[in-house]
Chains A and B, each alone.
Chain A
Amino acid sequence: MSVNHASSANTFNRDFDRTTWHDESLWFVRQKRDKAVFSVSEFQQLREVASNIKEHTLSSLDHYLIEFEQNALSNGVHVHWAANAQEHNQIILDILKQNKATRIVKSKSMLTEECHLNPFLKENGFDVVDTDLGERIIQFRNEPPSHIVMPAIHLKKEDVGKTFHEHLGTPANEKDPQRLTEAARQHLREKFVAAEVAITGVNFAIAETGSVVVCTNEGNADLGVTFAKVHIACMGIEKIIPKWQHLGVFTRVLARSATGQPITTYTSHFTKPRDGNEMHIVILDNGRTQQLGREDFRNSLKCIRCAACMNTCPVFRRSGGHSYGFTVPGPIGSILSPNLDLKKYSALPFASTLCGSCSDVCPVKIDIHVQLYKWRQIISKENALPISKRWSMKLLSTVLSRHGLYNLAGKIARFTLRWMPHSITHNTLLNSWAKSRELPHPPKESFGTWYQKNKLK
């Protein structure tokens, strides 16, 4: 089934006040970001440097991946390569089986969401506990994340209270954030202490040392890895950076762009397993090499998943992450998803006004809105546009490239608007413009006609 963003967004907007609340919550994060970014005078240079490091890395990705693997192996880490989500999930299942593990904790990883790891493991008899607070909330509710940094941003504290009442036995109508968080802490503490395997994502993978770096605010990745005997870190091939010295550039831009913090509360480095423990790294492709091969879209792989483009996007703030129907929603998701399934996600590059705020906010300078425009062209070429749109654009093209036709069409439009009753010109079944807007009041004559009468005498 194709994603219909407009229809989901329409449903979202039926609740005016909730839409206001959603918009303002995310705008608050955008403002925090601005404050944090403007306090660093060289931030624009940092963006440039971060973008260039990624540009270079992507241009020699094969080289750096092999360097990373060799260094990880010599650290005593098991390295696994997965071409797609199925292979990724199978690798993890096999590790769990080999270790006869049943108690599994997982910190936030959009890559495992992308692979739908949790449902796969569940089908195979393994229950995974998400330990990121937002992820745990939506796991209880059986929902996908609506945002990659704040997965439960679509929920109010009352919603969380209801969910915790059902799943954790907190008092009905409890909505105090501190008490709810405390309930989650107590619940998760048991899971951490008992964990046999800890799964984490990866924010950065450093080629020269074979280490992975995980950034969290809750410390849940560290805690999981510290207790469990087995650590499985899951990463996409684009997470590589060449050297240690590059990391500081990214940690400086990541948290500022994401939440307006100078740095995440925890920046954890994992290089080798403790004695007697195991560490695995699963490296996933899943369409990334295909995107790397698309010249116009290659640099979308620079993304460090800060979600600043979501917080700034006026469409995202007013349609919610679920309306995108893809693990990574918002502007960046709308240029990543068509690579995986052009038909299914063909509506997403159109869920934008092309305002360009996403490109201006992006800490690694991805030209997101330019790529949205380019995907639109490909979608039209591949015949994935709705038929009505395809024909109306052909007709429009004919009218707009022939002056006589254009003039005639303009006259008819103005005549119709002048003389047809308002109830017809503003009929919302025929004209969705008119649902909440008036049409312009048509003048008697066009500028062209005025010009000929007044200037060409």
Chain B
Amino acid sequence: MNVGLFIPCYIDQFYPQVGIATLELLEKMGCNVGYPLKQTCCGQPMANSGCEQDSIAAYQHFVKNFSSYDYIVTPSGSCAYHVKKHYNIIEQTLEVKNVRERTFEFVHFLTDILKVKEIPGSFPHQVGLHQSCHGQRGLKLSNASEITPVKDGEALRLLRTIKDIRITELDRNDECCGFGGTFCVTEEAVSSRMGTDRVADHIKNKTEVLTGGDMSCLMHLDGIIKRQKLPIKVMHIAEILNGNSITK
């Protein structure tokens, strides 16, 4: 199975360890992983700012880089959602359709395509899972609290199979962190307040390691944690699933 690895721009530049963990785990699972060197970004920052037309070049660039793979996997629910949902404004050639259908968020790919049921190893920490909205509500990777009181989802199920792990029970299971792309600077006050409240929920409920499927949300929350000097370590879920231990 040929898997094209898409590493979102901010992970490429600021969190290479997340890309490495994703790659390593996919390889461990027997995937033949390629990383197209000329990849850039899915185009979401412009499109969410209302400049969808300016994203078309990025969309075409993405399709050109990834159309030859069986699957395209990315450690970001938000980027996967963008490709699937919003690449509808370019001509729907066979290539485009294939790319949209075969792009997967990393955890979703593990559970749905590779049929991974459990993760070996031990992670003896209390882990708080941040439900990133685009993965949760956009790709429907976990239950939404508006629809059902049952808290369930693919990431949660996989994490629970790790030995010695403890999962935080949050007061608000799936409230948005307030990152929101350019929202985080254009609506700085609300964005920061939302992030502060999210982190406070994790602190109150004893999270030691905060994780999730979207590094952008985690970057925002980590920024608040570091500013407030709070005792929480932030890791992408790929790092935990790959068996990485907490680094300093």
What is A's interface to B at a CB cutoff of 8 Å?
Answer: 5-6, 9-10, 12-13, 19, 23, 27, 34, 38, 44, 312, 314-315, 318-319, 349-357, 359-361, 373, 376-381, 385, 389-390, 393-394, 396-403, 406, 410, 413-414, 432-433, 435-440, 442-443, 445-448, 450-452, 455
Q: What separation, in Å, do the CA atoms of A352 and B181 have in the docked complex?
A: 10
A448–B137 CB distance below 8 A:
no
A318–B148 CB distance below 8 A:
no
Binding-face segment, B47-55, B94-102, B106-114, B115-123:
B47-55
Q: What separation, in Å, do the CA atoms of A135 and B224 have in the docked complex?
A: 39
B164 to chain A, nearest CB (A): 28
Contact of B41 among A9, A350, A400, A440 (CB under 8 A): A400
B45–A353 CB distance below 8 A:
no
Q: Does B71 count as interface, using CB distance less than 8 angstroms?
A: no
Q: With contacts A376-B50, A379-B50 known, is A413 near B13, CB below 8 A?
A: yes
B31 to chain A, nearest CB (A): 14
Query: With a CB–CB cut-off of 8 A, which chain A residues contact B46?
Result: 393, 396-397, 400
A6–B188 CB distance below 8 A:
yes
Query: With a CB–CB cut-off of 8 A, which chain B residues contact A27?
Result: 172
B187–A6 CB distance below 8 A:
yes
Starting from the known contacts A414-B14, A443-B14, 11 additional A-B residue pairs (CB-CB under 8 Å) come to A12-B189, A360-B147, A393-B45, A397-B43, A400-B9, A400-B41, A433-B223, A436-B224, A443-B15, A443-B16, A446-B16
A93 to chain B, nearest CB (A): 40
* Most chain B Cβ neighbours within 10 Å, of A23, A359, A380, A445: A380
Q: Does B196 count as interface, using CB distance less than 8 angstroms?
A: yes
A334 to chain B, nearest CB (A): 13
Q: What separation, in Å, do the CA atoms of A443 and B19 have in the docked complex?
A: 13
A314–B227 CB distance below 8 A:
no
A401–B58 CB distance below 8 A:
yes
A365 to chain B, nearest CB (A): 11
Q: What separation, in Å, do the CA atoms of A12 and B193 have in the docked complex?
A: 11
Which residues of B34-74 have CB atoms within 8 Å of chain A's CB atoms? 35, 37-41, 43, 45-55, 57-58, 60-61
What is B's interface to A at a CB cutoff of 8 Å?
Answer: 7, 9, 11-20, 23, 35, 37-41, 43, 45-55, 57-58, 60-61, 133-134, 137-138, 144-149, 172, 174-176, 178-197, 219-220, 222-224, 226-227
Q: What separation, in Å, do the CA atoms of A455 and B35 have in the docked complex?
A: 10
B178–A452 CB distance below 8 A:
no
A406 to chain B, nearest CB (A): 5
Q: What separation, in Å, do the CA atoms of A455 and B183 have in the docked complex?
A: 36
Of chain A, the residue at the smallest CB distance from B18 is A447
Q: With contacts A376-B48, A440-B219 known, is A34 near B149, CB below 8 A?
A: yes
B190–A437 CB distance below 8 A:
no
A410–B37 CB distance below 8 A:
no
Contact of A312 among B17, B54, B146 (CB under 8 A): B146
| Among all A-B residue pairs, the 3 with the closest Cβ atoms | A437-B223, A353-B180, A380-B50
Q: What separation, in Å, do the CA atoms of A397 and B197 have in the docked complex?
A: 33
- Chain A interface mostly helix, strand, loop or mixed? helix
Q: With contacts A353-B179, A433-B223, A447-B20 known, is A23 near B197, CB below 8 A?
A: yes
Query: With a CB–CB cut-off of 8 A, which chain A residues contact B12?
Result: 410, 446-448
A347 to chain B, nearest CB (A): 9
A283 to chain B, nearest CB (A): 33
Query: With a CB–CB cut-off of 8 A, which chain A residues contact B138?
Result: 356
Contact of B146 among A353, A361, A377, A455 (CB under 8 A): A361
Q: What separation, in Å, do the CA atoms of A348 and B189 have in the docked complex?
A: 15
Q: What separation, in Å, do the CA atoms of A19 and B189 have in the docked complex?
A: 11
Of chain B, the residue at the smallest CB distance from A380 is B50
Contact of A433 among B184, B197, B226 (CB under 8 A): B184
Of chain B, the residue at the smallest CB distance from A402 is B40
B222–A9 CB distance below 8 A:
no
Of chain B, the residue at the smallest CB distance from A394 is B54
Query: With a CB–CB cut-off of 8 A, which chain A residues contact B49?
Result: 350, 376, 380, 385, 389, 393
Contact of B188 among A360, A361, A394, A432 (CB under 8 A): A432
A43 to chain B, nearest CB (A): 9
Query: With a CB–CB cut-off of 8 A, which chain A residues contact B176?
Result: 314, 353, 355, 357
A321 to chain B, nearest CB (A): 14
B48–A354 CB distance below 8 A:
yes
Contact of B145 among A34, A353, A438 (CB under 8 A): A34
B133–A406 CB distance below 8 A:
no
A390–B187 CB distance below 8 A:
no
Q: What separation, in Å, do the CA atoms of A432 and B188 have in the docked complex?
A: 7
A438–B226 CB distance below 8 A:
yes
Q: What separation, in Å, do the CA atoms of A178 and B52 have in the docked complex?
A: 53
Q: What separation, in Å, do the CA atoms of A312 and B146 have in the docked complex?
A: 9
A403–B40 CB distance below 8 A:
yes
Query: With a CB–CB cut-off of 8 A, which chain A residues contact B191?
Result: 353
Q: What separation, in Å, do the CA atoms of A414 and B192 have in the docked complex?
A: 23
Contact of B223 among A6, A439, A452 (CB under 8 A): A439
Q: With contacts A314-B176, A380-B50 known, is A10 near B189, CB below 8 A?
A: yes
B147–A44 CB distance below 8 A:
yes
7 example contacts (A-B, Cβ-Cβ < 8 A) are as follows A354-B180, A377-B52, A403-B40, A436-B192, A440-B219, A440-B223, A448-B12
B149–A38 CB distance below 8 A:
yes
A360–B41 CB distance below 8 A:
no
Q: With contacts A314-B176, A400-B40, A410-B9 known, is A356 near B133, CB below 8 A?
A: yes
Q: What separation, in Å, do the CA atoms of A436 and B228 have in the docked complex?
A: 8
Query: With a CB–CB cut-off of 8 A, which chain B residues contact A403?
Result: 37-40
A414–B13 CB distance below 8 A:
yes
Query: With a CB–CB cut-off of 8 A, which chain A residues contact B40?
Result: 399-403, 406
A435–B16 CB distance below 8 A:
no
A388 to chain B, nearest CB (A): 10
Query: With a CB–CB cut-off of 8 A, which chain B residues contact A349?
Result: 50
B41–A406 CB distance below 8 A:
yes
Contact of A440 among B57, B60, B195, B222 (CB under 8 A): B222
A318–B193 CB distance below 8 A:
yes
Contact of A360 among B50, B60, B146 (CB under 8 A): B146
